[in-house]
Amino acid sequence: MSAPSAAAQVGATIPNTTFAEVPYTPELDDAAACGIPSQGKTHDLFKGKKAVIIAVPGAFTPTCHVKHIPDIVKSAQKYQNKGYVVYVIAQNDPFVLSAWGRTNGAKGEVHFATDVDIAFSKALGATIDMSSKGFGIRTGRYLLVADDLKITHFAAENGPGEVEVSGAKSIDAVL
């Protein structure tokens, strides 16, 4: 991953881009259900809120699915109790991210959302080129904490298979 841009610095305003998600409803417990995607601008989603945003290169991939996101889902209630909304974002479409959230048992405690056109991650300078593996440009693996649209913490992993600064233990240390 390249060096984060000035937009990723503590005190900067988060980029105002679009996230898309299929909001969890109990009907989605049926694996045949797909739900209806909705979109929101990040400034509308996070205005006046504290947010933990975890970006990953892709849903259902070995590091993301096994080593990274399960502990975050298990800890989500703890983050909510501290007043944070929790988002996991990736470049995958909202239907895939919805299925991934359901597979992880998130049931609405964690939003699984698409970084539409990876614009949020691009603005932060936090993308990764995985073209050599046939995956193209992806969201990098990073942790962003914000309070009323201002970045209070940003940390990006050095490689796509690492979970050193963006996992649940790191979130616990900064909240």
Catalytic machinery residues: 64
**Tokens representing residue 68 in the block:** 């990274």
What is the secondary structure of 80-116 as a DSSP string?
Answer: HHTTEEEEEEESS-HHHHHHHHHHTT-TTSSEEEEEG
Contact criterion met (CB below 8 Å) for 34 and 57: no
Burial class for 120, CB neighbours closer than 10 Å (0-12, 13-18, 19+) = buried
Alpha-carbon torsion (78, 102, 94, 118), positive or negative: positive
C-alpha 144/C-alpha 175 separation (Å) is: 11
